[in-house]
Amino acid sequence: MKCEECLPLLEEFADGEVDRRTSELMGAHMAACAECAEAFDALSAEQEMYLRYDRELEVSPAMWHAVSERIAEAPAERVAKPVPLLTRLRGQLAIVLGALALRPALASSMALLLVGVAAGVLWFMQAPRPVRRETIARSTPVPDTKPPSGGVPNPGPLPDRVESVEGDVPRTATPHKNDAQLASASQSVKLMKASATPTRRPFNPGVAGDVLPSENHPVAQDDVLLSVQPSLLDDDVLAINTRLLDPEEKEVARHVEHAQLLLRSFRNARDTEGEGVINIAYEKSQSRKLLDQNISLQLEAEAAGNKTTARILNSLEPFLLDISNLRDEPSRDEVRSIKDRMQKKEIIASLQVY
Amino acid sequence: MNSTEELVARVRHGDEEAFRLIFDRYARPLISFVYDMVGSRELAEDLTQETFVRAYKSLGALRDETKLSTWLFGIAKNVARESLRTRARESRNVHVDDEAEVFELCDGQRGPAGQLLDKELNGVIQSALLRLDEDKRLVFTLKVFQQRSYEEIAEITGFSIGKLKTDLHRARAEMRRRLGPYLGGEQ
């Protein structure tokens, strides 16, 4: 390879985005060419400087509270039903019909059964049906507040209708109402029932209806959150929240962030099929630096009794050690072995959580 | 440790704690990414919140749960771009505002020399970033700061690999030119 071919590919090489063959050729060329090796070093120094970029951003617990409140208003069906209901029903119907098509005798029996069921349903629908008193009674005390998220809006002024259908009176036994009024009353009762019956939401800690003990004693947002989600009080969450507020942990946080970027860079290193090597010179040198820092930070965390930090640093150390001890151009299998363990241990995710 | 697929499945069944774990896992990289795009701390917080809310609402549209991270960054990109468009309409000269903000950051407390240098460097990097045009800044941030592969960046941005390579190369060159003195000091 010549310098004219090597130099334009340096950035892709540093990004781990060139194929195995090109990577080998570039590695060999840079081993012999001072100019290209110098350009690569400059690029590595540049990358190192960017890794030191500290935005001084913190993810405060208040951010989650705000998100939590807003998603409490999200419609539940979008989360729970990735596949439309009609599509699923159509698929199930197709399976049933397909099965019937193969058995004519069964099909005729089922047809008779369906006719019977349909007749029963028609008879049931035409028979007088009592309106249950407790349903209405439950609906009555609902104040005219904004509707619960994902639920049916409050139907508005309804007391007159409620009074008129009070008691176990069949619908046909209200001679002063015409059919339109009956339909309206029936609709109102349905709406009220819907608004009074707690609808299942995925989670909505900010919705007062779930936990408020009394109108006269409004509960603070944090109290609501704690009432709904006592599991949030576990040690890890408390530790995370405390850590976010502790400036002394900032150095550890930065270290963990750098380690995370390093591991991500290592994971993205080109891993093509076939025999060959992968150039991870940059990751290796970074890993050595981070390893030293990791050891000292781990000792400090242990001395300070900070178990969460010590644990995360302890889980990171083997990966830093392995990457540092790799050869300059390790084989694909060697790199893959570390990548597999990274995936198995989900170390990048652990660092992100930290 | 919960896998991404498990977490997504749990959220789809209404598990709040699972969504909180997703938030804990991705909030930090997402807020950094959004901040690099918009250059304002408060706005980055708001837009990151908006990203998670949108993600929650449209989680049903996520087809490949293993690509949750890429999907979230895609949403964050859209949210940040919408905000930049709105700001551009409100103020013709966004860069002037952003620079003022950068200098404000640099005028913080004076500490030891190293800290001051780091602070100054942070300000200079942010200023240089905000001078990149939107596409270049997007690609540069995803590659250099978020360490995403070209393939992932193409998925997040919708750019072709050719375009993102060109944008990335030009962004690096521009950043190099603006950070020249600091790069000299590093070497």
pLDDT tens-digit readout, A204-248? 433 333 333 333 333 333 333 333 343 444 444 445 555 555 656
Amino acid identity of A294?
Answer: N
Q: Work out the mean pLDDT of chain B and round it to a whole number.
A: 82
Predicted pLDDT of residue B110: 41
Q: Of residues A336 and B185, which shows the higher confidence score?
A: A336
Residues in chain B with CB shorter than 8 Å from the CB of A353 are 21, 24-25
Smallest Cα distance from B133 to chain A, Å: 18
Smallest Cα distance from A171 to chain B, Å: 39
Q: How far apart are CA A21 and CA A118, in angstroms?
A: 72
Amino acid identity of B56?
Answer: Y
In this complex, do A68 and B16 lie within 8 Å of one another by their Cβ atoms? yes
In this complex, do A67 and B53 lie within 8 Å of one another by their Cβ atoms? yes
Name the pLDDT band for B48 (thresholds 50, 70, 90). very high
Q: Among residues 119-178 of chain B, which lie with CB inside 8 Å of chain A? A: 121-122, 125-126, 143-150, 165, 168-169, 172, 176
Name the pLDDT band for A181 (thresholds 50, 70, 90). very low
Average confidence (pLDDT) over B158-177: 92
Predicted pLDDT of residue A352: 74
Say if B8 is an interface residue toward chain A (CB within 8 Å): no
A-interface mutation test, from B6, B16, B107, most A Cβ less than 10 A away: B16
A-interface mutation test, from B7, B56, B130, B183, most A Cβ less than 10 A away: B56
Say if A50 is an interface residue toward chain B (CB within 8 Å): yes
Predicted pLDDT of residue B169: 93
Say if A325 is an interface residue toward chain B (CB within 8 Å): no
Say if A54 is an interface residue toward chain B (CB within 8 Å): yes
Which of B35, B59, B144 shows the shortest C-beta gap to A57? Answer: B35
Q: Of residues A35 and B181, which shows the higher confidence score?
A: A35
Say if A339 is an interface residue toward chain B (CB within 8 Å): no
In this complex, do A78 and B58 lie within 8 Å of one another by their Cβ atoms? yes
Q: Of residues B138 and A159, which shows the higher confidence score?
A: B138
Q: Work out the mean pLDDT of chain A and round it to a whole number.
A: 67
Residues in chain A with CB shorter than 8 Å from the CB of B58 are 78
The interaxial angle of helices B161-178 and B113-131, nearest 10 deg, is 130
ipTM, 2 dp: 0.77
Predicted pLDDT of residue A207: 36
Q: How far apart are CA B169 and CA B140, in angstroms?
A: 9
Predicted pLDDT of residue A215: 39
Say if A78 is an interface residue toward chain B (CB within 8 Å): yes
Say if A145 is an interface residue toward chain B (CB within 8 Å): no
Cα angle for residues B75, B81, B85 (degrees, 5° grid): 145
Q: Please provide the DSSP assignment of A118-182 as one string.
A: HHHHHHHHHS--BPPHHHHHHHTT--S-PPPTTSPPP----HHHHHHT-SS-BGGG-TT--HHHH
Predicted pLDDT of residue B112: 55
**Cα-based distances in Å from B143 to A18, A58, A354, B183:** 15, 22, 22, 19
Residue A340 is given by DSSP the state H
Residue A200 is given by DSSP the state P
Residue A30 makes CB contacts below 8 A (sequence gap 6+) with A6, A36, A37, A40
Predicted pLDDT of residue A251: 82
Q: Of residues A91 and A225, which shows the higher confidence score?
A: A91
Rg (CA), chain A: 33
pLDDT at A167 > cutoff 50: no
Token duo for residue A331: 């084989």
Q: How far apart are CA A348 and CA A261, in angstroms?
A: 9
Q: Sign of torsion, CA A45 A266 B81 B79?
A: negative
Phi, psi of A286 (to 5 degrees): -65, -40
